[in-house]
Chains A and B, each alone.
Chain A
Amino acid sequence: AQSVTQLGSHVSVSEGALVLLRCNYSSSVPPYLFWYVQYPNQGLQLLLKYTTGATLVKGINGFEAEFKKSETSFHLTKPSAHMSDAAEYFCASMDSNYQLIWGAGTKLIIKP
């Protein structure tokens, strides 16, 4: 069965520092991969997605992610963290039935 693993339930970085959130997937076919952000008491907002083509995907709010097939990874990065980036981030893949399989989420904490 397809699965998504996010390493680290909590990640803490200083404002201005690099943000790196890790996501690994398992899939027997080329996956569709997504990163979503969830602010407290709100729904999920799409940050970026990989379907086909370029492996480096740019999203909203300065985030980007790189699809690495050899490592089965889709890590999310941002060069410089901002206080407004504090939220929970979810990685997801789409299975063969076009249903989203979600990771457990990583809470990003930004230190002033």
Chain B
Amino acid sequence: DAGVTQSPTHLIKTRGQHVTLRCSPISGHKSVSWYQQVLGQGPQFIFQYYEKEERGRGNFPDRFSARQFPNYSSELNVNALLLGDSALYLCASSPLDPFLEAFFGQGTRLTVV
């Protein structure tokens, strides 16, 4: 079975631009969460979606948004990129609500220049 897949794996953007990151969960998983991991730190929770509804939002500005599609895949959008948005963005999927077993993708490394 395929694991959680994220695309692209690496991305370089310029300050002020917009970026869309994509995540495909494990087949049968209905919950998707997004995390930001800045180099040298632990992940920080951004969003959680379950059955296409937002179930949780971390302490991130409104420049960050996300959605989940009918096939349970998800997109994370970031507008007006700042240098500080440079990080590894991780997507995790879970078969359950509540979210007790998280399976992570390999992440998207975003560099903002």
Is B99 touching A99 in the complex (CB atoms < 8 A)?
Answer: yes
Residues of B within 8 A of A98 (CB): 48, 55-56, 97-100
B105 contacts the other chain (CB 8 A): yes
Q: Which residues of A contact B106 (CB under 8 A)?
A: 41-43
**Number of B positions contacting A (CB below 8 A):** 27
- Choice from B42, B97, B98, B101 contacting A104 with Cβ under 8 Å: B42
* A105 nearest CB across to chain B (Å): 5
A80 beta carbon closer than 8 Å to chain B: no
Task: Report yes or no: A102 in contact with B56, Cβ–Cβ below 8 A.
Answer: no
Give the secondary structure class of A's interface: strand
CB-CB nearest in chain A for B105: A43
Does A13 lie at the interface of the complex (its beta carbon under 8 Å from any beta carbon of B)? Answer: no
What are the residues of chain A within 8 A of B16 when measuring CB–CB? none
* Contacting pair B104 A44 (CB below 8 A): yes
Most B Cβ at <10 Å: residue of A43, A46, A49, A94: A43
B43 interfacial by beta-carbon distance below 8 Å: yes
Q: Name B's A-contacting residues (CB within 8 A).
A: 4, 33, 35, 40-45, 48, 55-56, 58, 90, 92, 97-107, 109
